[in-house]
Structure 1
């Protein structure tokens, strides 16, 4: 039984072991990529990221194959993780978990532990699906960004508090700034609407208070567009 979980890499590279390792890395990467697409079918994703998840285990496995010794493997591990570029652009934080996931699978495959690589991929993918289906960590309502424009002669301190308390489960002012050469104020709130709150009634209430000036309500995943 133990031979199933033993390394196929051996002391030297052979064509058969190399093909087996790369094939396993690509197949597990494809499996992880399919699970990623399944768990993101509602929110969507960048088309290039699932392709990256397929290729990354094979790339990491190739690096490990070419290195060879245990000491060098430790350095290659540090180098592999240092190559990951964490972007400041908005995105799903789960993407980082998927990147580390594929790197770990690639390391296992590159060291020749193909059964472990497939086992890790299966268990963690099942965990990802289970967490997605149970909605673990998902808030009951979406966090949103509210931007309100008001005239400079309107005292903004507490002017919308009664409306916000009526329609939101929580709210917090994040920013105040002047616009149009100081003739207008722009208020930015982070809010969570109540479950059955009407967005139209909420915005209409604010428009009646701010003189029918601009009001925008944006999901936090698109928050950068609010500040354009």
Structure 2
């Protein structure tokens, strides 16, 4: 009977009355937030340094810093109380993000921010710092590694009279037909080609063909054009 009373008293103090919050050290909270901010800024710098897209989003990059700090605060909060832990799990289970992530590498940065925030929230600072340093070095090394062949989309708009000569040029490129649109005035075809050492002289040759209205070359990532 005494054990039951002791357990009930402990449960009331630590859960119902949220007495566990009194055990939070402001020094630990300050160190956790400062560490997560420093790591978040490191992620911010790495993302900006290794960004390969066309339009850089400052707000999107800032979200990594805030995501790291918020995750740290959440981990520190729910680790003090079982009710908050269960409530946070239930709240996060109904959250849905509608923003489409076009670059798979952006998801890696998101997981990096969350993982660093969890490590800081759990006071495992060496894992957060050393792990982030290793990730940063790997990302910079991969970003500087030159890709031998880059995929591009070659979009050609030509008349029917230039079809045969355009076909001859495309055979030399050994590309892959992606789409073909036939209209009354012209025909538009899209080819996927791979370019080595930025050799784009073939675009000028195709543009010079009589009957070709225009030829465009666009960097292609597989899911969307840049």
TM over 0.5: same fold?
A: yes
**Matched residue, 1:190:** 192
Counterpart-to-counterpart distance in 1, 2:32 and 2:119: 9
Structure 2, unmatched stretches of 5+, are: 1-20
Counterpart-to-counterpart distance in 2, 1:98 and 1:15: 29
- Report matched runs for 1:217-228 at 5 Å: 217-220=217-220
Higher helix share: 2
Write the deviation string for residues 7-45 of structure 1: whole angstroms up to 9, x where unpaired.
Answer: xxx993221111111111101111121222222389773
**Matched residue, 2:168:** 162
Q: Is the 8 A contact 1:32 1:102 kept in 2?
A: yes
How many residues are paired up?
204
3-state secondary structure, aligned to 2:211 = coil
Q: TM-score, normalised by structure 2?
A: 0.73
Which of the residues 133, 141, 156 maps onto 1:148? 156
Any runs of at least 4 consecutive aligned residues in structure 1 with deviations exceeding 6 A, and if so which? 41-44
Going from structure 1 to structure 2, the CA distance change for 1:74 and 1:215 (only over 3 Å counts) comes to farther
**Matched residue, 1:47:** 58
Counterpart-to-counterpart distance in 2, 1:155 and 1:43: 33
RMSD between superposed Cα atoms in Å: 3.6
**Matched residue, 1:171:** 175
Going from structure 1 to structure 2, the CA distance change for 1:76 and 1:24 (only over 3 Å counts) comes to farther
- Report matched runs for 1:65-76 at 5 Å: 65-68=76-79, 72=85, 76=89
Task: Give 1 or 2 for the bigger CA radius of gyration.
Answer: 2
Which of the residues 106, 109, 112 maps onto 1:98? 109
Q: TM-score, normalised by structure 1?
A: 0.72
Structure 1, unmatched stretches of 5+, are: 1-9
